[in-house]
């Protein structure tokens, strides 16, 4: 996380705004697939990456990750990410998709 701290501090110094993405739809850097795998390793039944959206344990893992990120205090700026004006937006997921329900209904 120190690398992200540094990137945010440098962006701040240069006047650049950032969008922080919490997870990738695809398996790059773990993605939502990794959350499902963690749940499976805890004995959860999960049949697809789309269980990211419905499995209670997976959802809790993601909530924990989001909380950890927004509450983190930058080691360079000493500002919590949630209070950092350099972070102009939070993206819940990069390119979200759910192939299990193509209807698009909530």
Q: What token pair was written down for 37?
A: 């795998």
Per-residue pLDDT of 21-66, as tens digits, reads 999 999 988 999 999 999 999 999 988 999 999 999 999 999 999 9
DSSP run (H or E) holding 33: helix 31-41
- Give strand ranges (E) for 1-106: 18-21, 87-91
- Which sign, positive or negative, has the C-alpha torsion 13, 85, 9, 79? positive
pTM value is 0.87
pLDDT, tens only, 74-90: 999 999 999 999 999 99
């Amino acid at each position: 996380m120190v690398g992200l701290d540094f990137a945010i501090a440098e962006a701040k110094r240069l006047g650049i705004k950032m969008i922080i993405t919490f997870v990738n739809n695809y398996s790059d850097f773990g993605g939502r697939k990794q959350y499902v795998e963690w749940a499976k390793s805890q004995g959860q039944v999960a049949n697809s990456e789309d269980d990211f959206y419905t499995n209670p344990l997976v959802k809790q893992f993601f909530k924990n990750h989001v909380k950890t990120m927004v509450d983190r205090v930058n080691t360079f700026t000493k500002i919590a990410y949630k209070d950092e004006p350099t972070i102009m937006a939070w993206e819940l997921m990069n390119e979200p998709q759910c192939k299990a329900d193509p209807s698009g209904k909530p």
